[in-house]
Amino acid sequence: MAQILAASPTCQMKLTKPSPIASSKLWSSVMLKQKKQNSSKLRSFKVMALQSDNSTINRVESLLNLDTKPFTDRIIAEYIWIGGSGIDLRSKSRTLEKPVEDPSELPKWNYDGSSTGQAPGEDSEVILYPQAIFRDPFRGGGNILVICDTYTPAGEPIPTNKRARAAEIFSNKKVNEEIPWFGIEQEYTLLQPNVNWPLGWPVGAYPGPQGPYYCGVGAEKSWGRDISDAHYKACLYAGINISGTNGEVMPGQWEFQVGPSVGIEAGDHVWCARYLLERITEQAGVVLTLDPKPIEGDWNGAGCHTNYSTKSMREEGGFDVIKKAILNLSLRHMEHISAYGEGNERRLTGKHETASIDQFSWGVANRGCSIRVGRDTEKKGKGYLEDRRPASNMDPYIVTSLLAETTLLWEPTLEAEALAAQKLSLKV
């Protein structure tokens, strides 16, 4: 299945608009498969995974694509977890004696927490609990990816484990009955390696201003599509609930959406999708960043808008339920903001399709608000809401469970509610 990552030669990006600083070497970085006769042109751009002098025969590729099924029942399981910074993904693999259907059949494992900032050296074991299984698009066959969360040997979730608390919230009866759906729009920026500057941008300078790039097509407008497209298929293969992709407003920036997913699945699917994206960019020799404002100035930031609905919101009279939810959210604005990603204050300025970070606002079809309600929802009187505040580096376990908690488990005082309703002109 690694073949899906091999781009055809037509996908090679070439800069057609002449620029004093850029050269055609820059665009080679988006080639996922080395053209065998052009390997010398690529040499300055390390495709870090593999570079062969004797490029006439690439035998490593045949090993990577080897189907081991005829020779052994054993499969490879890649255990994936979140490291000490809360946003760094880590993984290592192990052999299992035979294929596995359910996470409960997978053995717990452990890793060196002192190497990820999650444990001291003299008591370094952190335990991995398998939580979700996906198919491995890189190894193919019956091999799998396993999303895990992390615990002390005594069985307590370690401080950076945000999934445990989210799972508790989602198993609460009130939350569970409402069948909360999430659709998460993950934006991300691709950077050239070593220079920390976006893919496609001339090093030391800027491209033309924003305008032509959103959903754009063409060599001057769309940079890095191979990564977005390879990622789309990899996610579908893996079993991730990916619902779409698009090029974003800032050049070199892209978005994919995962959903609708129910409850804790949303977090698992988004983290696995992020892992696949880092693996693919690793192979392409491009750096992935989830920073919410990678370039200062008149350039869009990167967010992770979270679309949300409950059973009552999706049924007749749902719009009123949505308004009540918005009211609750308005009263917990600061709690949510502080959990919505580091560095978000550089992004939520009130400009570039964001709302200012200290002000809560909502509106129909309004992209400059904290919460946006679609025209369809307004027209049908039922649907969902979009929380536009989360940054691209948010933790989906935290954001999804906090939305459920604030709208389903938390109640404001009557006075606070009345005041807020007035302020937001919400008749609840």
- The SS3 call for residue 36 is helix
Q: Which is nearer to another protein, 268 or 405 (CB)?
A: 268
Work out how close the CB of 143 gets to another protein at its nearest, in angstroms, rounded to a whole number. 9
What is the C-alpha separation between 116 and 143, in angstroms, rounded?
26
Residue 147 contacts another protein per CB under 8 A: no
Give the separation between CA 149 and CA 80, rounded to whole angstroms: 8
Which range of residues in 43-51, 178-186, 230-238, 311-319 is near another protein by CB under 8 A?
A: 43-51
DSSP assignment of 142-191: T-EEEEEEEE-TTSPBPTT--HHHHHHHHHSHHHHHT--EEEEEEEEEEE
Q: Which two tokens stand for residue 416?
A: 């606070």
Q: Is 53 in the site for another protein (CB under 8 A)?
A: yes
Instruction: Single out the residue of 11, 76, 339, 416 in contact with another protein (rule: CB under 8 A).
Output: 76
Place of tokens 């006439």: 56
Q: How far is the CB of 200 from another protein (least distance, A)?
A: 16
Only segment of 271-279, 301-309, 317-325, 415-423 that touches another protein (CB under 8 A): 271-279
- Residue 99 is a binding residue for another protein (CB under 8 A): no
Cβ 313 to another protein shortest distance, Å: 36
Collect all residues with Cβ–Cβ distance below 8 Å to 408 and sequence separation of at least 6.
Answer: 174, 175, 178, 180, 310
Residues 316, 319: Cα–Cα separation, whole Å: 8
For residue 203, the Cα-to-chain-centroid distance in whole angstroms is 26
Q: Tell me: does residue 188 bind another protein (CB under 8 A).
A: no
Query: HSE on the CB side for 424, CA within 13 Å?
Result: 27
**By CB under 8 A, residue 112 contacts another protein:** yes
Residue 49 CB, shortest distance to another protein, in Å, is: 4
27 lines the binding site for another protein (CB under 8 A): no
269 touching another protein, by CB under 8 A: no
Region from 56-64, 373-381, 406-414, 416-424 binding another protein, contact rule CB under 8 A: 56-64
One-letter amino acid at 24 equals: S
**Can you tell me the distance from the alpha carbon of 396 to that of 261, in angstroms, rounded to the nearest whole number?**
12
117 forms part of the interface with another protein (CB under 8 A): yes
Decide whether 3 or 72 has the Cβ nearer to another protein. 72
Give, rounded to a whole angstrom, the gap between the first and last alpha carbons of the chain.
53
Q: What residue type is 76 in one-letter code?
A: I
Residue 300 backbone phi and psi in degrees, to 5: -60, 150
Helices (H), 204-351: 225-238, 264-284, 311-314, 318-331, 333-339
For 75, the 3-state DSSP assignment is strand
State in angstroms the smallest separation of the CB of 6 from another protein.
13
Work out which of 223, 275, 340, 397 binds another protein, going by CB under 8 A: 275
Q: Does 320 contact another protein by CB under 8 A?
A: no
By CB under 8 A, tell whether 14 contacts another protein: no
Site for another protein contains 220 (CB under 8 A): no
Nearer to another protein, 4 or 167 (CB): 4
DSSP 232-243: HHHHHHHT--EE
97 binds another protein per the rule CB under 8 A: no
Piece of 122-130, 242-250, 314-322, 411-419 that binds another protein (CB under 8 A): 122-130
Is 98 a binding residue for another protein by CB under 8 A? The answer is no
- Torsion 90-94-100-104 (CA) sign: negative
In the complex, least distance from residue 155 CB atom to another protein, rounded to whole angstroms: 11
CB atoms within 10 A of CB 390: 29
Instruction: Considering the complex, state which of residue 66 and residue 179 has its C-beta at the smaller distance from another protein.
Output: 66
- Whose Cβ is closer to another protein: residue 36's or residue 311's? 36
Q: Binding residues for another protein, per CB under 8 A?
A: 36, 46, 48-54, 56-64, 66, 68, 71-72, 74, 76, 83, 88-95, 110-112, 114-117, 121-125, 138-139, 153, 193, 275, 278-279, 281-288
